């Protein structure tokens, strides 16, 4: 009988641990633009939050966005016209974005080189990178697909 009494407690613990593990995993998206999203869907979302500034080589777009913290989104597409990376550029003079707002600092690899900071978090499918010159606040952050050979796609 004692086993059945502990079963609900065990389920609560398992569900709680699972939720915390999944919550700690950053999503592969920025401002609603997800990795793997079709270009047409990405453009529809981008048009609702900003305007196209320029398109380069048909594979990268630069969007000015209406957000107090982010000024631009750079979106790159693969050969199948799906999002392969998204980079957010922090707005100069706007509310600042902490590294910890976009990446779990305890789980990220940290690099400091001549006053430049870089935090990288990676799994098998994508990498999240936050850059900046300040110890606490970023200047840009990106999510990028990783190719089959486990290398970051540029």
28-145 is a CATH 3.40.1000 domain: yes
Whether 10 shows a pLDDT value over 50: the answer reads no
Q: Which alpha helices (DSSP H) does the chain contain, by range? A: 2-23, 39-49
Name the residue ranges covered by the structural domains of the chain.
28-145
16: left (phi over 0), alpha (psi -120 to 50) or beta: alpha
pLDDT digits (tens, 9 = 90+) for 47-58: 999 999 999 877
**Residue-level length of the chain:** 154
Pairing of strands 116-122, 83-90: unpaired
More confident residue, 43 or 124: 43
Report how far Cα 53 is from the mean position of its chain's Cα atoms.
21
């Amino acid at each position: 009988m004692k086993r059945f009494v502990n079963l609900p407690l065990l389920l609560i613990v398992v569900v709680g641990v699972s939720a915390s593990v999944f919550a700690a995993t950053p999503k592969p998206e920025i401002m609603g633009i997800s990795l793997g999203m079709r270009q047409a869907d990405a453009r529809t979302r981008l048009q609702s939050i900003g305007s196209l500034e320029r398109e380069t080589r048909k594979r990268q777009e630069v969007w000015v966005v209406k957000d107090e913290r982010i000024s631009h989104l750079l979106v790159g597409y693969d050969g199948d016209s799906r999002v392969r990376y998204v980079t957010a550029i922090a707005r100069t003079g706007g509310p600042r974005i902490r590294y910890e707002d976009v990446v779990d600092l305890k789980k990220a690899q940290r690099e400091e080189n001549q006053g430049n900071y870089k935090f990288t978090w990676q799994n098998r499918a994508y990498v999240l990178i936050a850059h900046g010159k300040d110890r606490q606040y970023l200047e840009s952050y990106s999510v990028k697909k990783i190719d089959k050979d486990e290398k970051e796609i540029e």
